[in-house]
Amino acid sequence: MHFELTEEQQMLQKMVREFGEKEVAPGAAARDENEEFARGLYDAMGDLGLTGLCFPEQYGGADGDYLSYIVAVEELSRFDDSVGITLATSVSLCQWPILAYGTEAQKQKYLIPLVAGKTLGAFGLTEPNAGTDAAAQQTVAVDNGDHYLLNGSKIFITNGGEAETYVIFAMTDRAKGVKGITAFLLEKGMPGFTFGKKEHKLGIRGSITMELIFQDVKVPQANRLGQEGEGFKIAMSTLDGGRIGVAAQALGIAQAAFDHAVKYAKERTQFGKPIAANQAVAFMLADMATKVEAARYLVYRAAFLKDQGRPFAKEAAMAKMYASDVAMAVTTDAVQIFGGYGYSREYPVERLLRNAKITQIYEGTNQVQRIVIASALLR
């Protein structure tokens, strides 16, 4: 087993880190304070090729591996994880299912501009009473011959309102339960497709999260993604890959918090010496570093397995669960090391702590990940 990134992956890592330092980091605090979505940063990521890293050349991608994309999400999330999750949502949750299940016409129309970063993607599964319980969703699509008539709503949709392309799930046959769910491709601006409440969140405030509302939306038959009744399968396979993206986001947050804590502990003096010289602080830093490295290996292994075409659902759940728990633990310890300053917005660790919490919640809470892991172990 190789424990080093390839030369090409290291070059990508360096490029994204430089982009993060120069373009992402300077405005991160202001975007958080003002709840500002920076579409210009996403456009810049498209220009750098980050939106197409792991997609085939025939659709405008770099024909690279999934691990390279995960490294990019990790690096972006070190500087502003709102930017990291914007990329991860479009790539993992919108672009990938179109590549995996879309027709050639759908790929030409929707995937190519997404891969180029000219359009932004989103994924709509969650409803007020249908989060983990996908079969409880109320959004319905009725087959009307040349089109489906879509009615319902979705909540907590990352990139909602800003995205041009949406992968949406609806019931086409309620009697069949999860086998009655079908996936569709919707475009911003379709008549009857509007946006409701914008969420004002604890963290990732530079990432836009909105409600989607569907009122008699005519969705052409050509916009059905996959076969009727395949929606649940499409959603679950998409979320498997999406969990690695969330794990990478959590990893970036944890790494950033650790880096800030080390720097501060070496600079902050008490009783005539840096606080890092105190064994209690030094031991905290040692534990933090170990957790971050352990999380990194889980995240990278899950991406490696996906690249190899091997089963990875269990490993993706492990990576998401562990990395997000590590992000919470490491950011909490970082605030502790900063003391009163850590609780102040003068330093970034309080923002990292707020942002870390969401990684334990979305793409399925960590209790859901434990179910996925246990089911795989006991199958």
DSSP string, 233-250: HHHHHHHHHHHHHHHHHH
B/e letters for 19-28, b = 16+ CB within 10 Å, e = fewer, are bbeebbbebb
Whether 225 and 246 map to the same domain: the answer is no
Residue 1 has pLDDT above 70, yes or no: no
CATH of the domain at 196: 2.40.110.10
The answer to whether residues 293 and 266 belong to one domain is yes
Has residue 207 got a pLDDT over 80? yes
Residues 114 and 202 in one domain: no
- Residue at 217 is within a domain: yes
Q: Are residues 114 and 157 in the same domain?
A: no
Q: How far apart are CA 5 and CA 297, in angstroms?
A: 12
Percent of the chain with pLDDT over 90: 95
Q: Are residues 242 and 286 in the same domain?
A: yes
160: tokens are 């909602």
In a domain, 253, yes or no: yes
* Residue 100 pLDDT level (bands cut at 50, 70, 90): very high
Residue 290, classed as helix, strand or coil, is helix
Kindly list the distances between the CA atom of residue 270 and the CA atoms of 204, 258, 275, in Å, as whole numbers in the listed order: 33, 20, 6
**CA–CA distance, 24 with 18 (Å, rounded to integer):** 9
Last residue of a domain, one of 208, 229, 250: 229
72-91 b/e (C-beta count within 10 Å ≥ 16 → b): bbbbbbbbbbbbbbbbbbbb
State the pTM of this model. 0.96
Q: What is the pLDDT of residues 289-305, one digit of tens each?
A: 999 999 999 999 999 99
At 220, the pLDDT band (50, 70, 90 cuts) reads: very high
- CB count, 10 Å around CB of 279? 8
80 and 185 fall within a common domain: no
Rg of the chain (C-alpha set): 21
Q: Is residue 138 part of a domain?
A: yes
Take residue 159 and report the two structure tokens written for it.
């990139």
pLDDT higher than 80, residue 132 = no
Q: Give CA 278 to chain center in angstroms.
A: 37
Residue 372 and residue 239 in one domain: yes
Please name the amino acid found at residue 279: Q
Catalytic residue ranges: 363
Q: Is residue 95 domain-resident?
A: yes
For residue 313 the two structure tokens come to: 């659902």
Q: Report the candidate in 275, 273, 271, 323 with the shortest Cα–Cα distance to residue 296.
A: 323
Same domain, 249 and 318: yes
Q: Does residue 300 belong to any structural domain of this protein?
A: yes
Q: Which residue has the higher pLDDT, 149 or 135?
A: 149
Confidence of residue 152 (pLDDT cuts 50, 70, 90): very high
Same domain, 138 and 221: yes
Q: CB-based contacts of 363: which residues, under 8 Å, 6+ apart?
A: 239, 242, 243, 245, 246, 320
CATH number where 49 lies: 1.10.540.10
Predicted confidence (pLDDT) at residue 208 exceeds the cutoff of 70: yes
Under 8 Å between Cβ of 358 and 204: yes
Q: What is the mean pLDDT of the chain?
A: 96
Structural domain contains residue 2? no
Q: Domain span at residue 99? A: 7-119
Give the CATH number, domain containing residue 336. 1.20.140.10
Per the structure, how many domains does the chain have?
3
The whole-number average pLDDT for the span 62-84 is: 97
- Helix %, strand %, coil % for the chain, to 5? 60, 15, 25
Question: What confidence tens digit (pLDDT) does each residue in 321-359 have?
Answer: 999 999 999 999 999 999 999 999 999 999 999 999 999
DSSP 133: -
Between CA 125 and CA 139 the distance in angstroms is 9
The answer to whether the Cα torsion of 319, 322, 323, 324 is positive or negative is: positive
Last residue in a domain, options 200, 229, 258: 229
> Residues 207, 77: one domain?
no
Inform me whether the pLDDT recorded for 133 exceeds 90: no
Per-residue confidence (pLDDT) for residue 130, from 0 to 100: 82
Which pLDDT tens digit goes with each residue over 154-163? Answer: 999 999 999 9
Q: Looking at residues 61-80, what average pLDDT do you find?
A: 97
Query: Do the domain assignments include residue 1?
Result: no
- The domain boundary, picked from 176, 207, 229, lies at 229
Q: Do 371 and 248 belong to one domain? A: yes
* 3-class state of residue 367 by DSSP: helix
Structure token pair of residue 205:
């405030």
User: Hey, what are 149's tokens?
Assistant: 């008539």
- Inter-residue contact 168 to 148 (CB < 8 Å): no
Instruction: Tell me whether residue 43 is in a domain.
Output: yes
Identity at 367, one-letter amino acid code: Q
Distance separating alpha carbons of residues 216 and 189, to the nearest angstrom? 13
What pLDDT score does 353 carry?
98
Q: Would you state the pLDDT for residue 306? A: 97
112 with 149, same domain: the answer is no
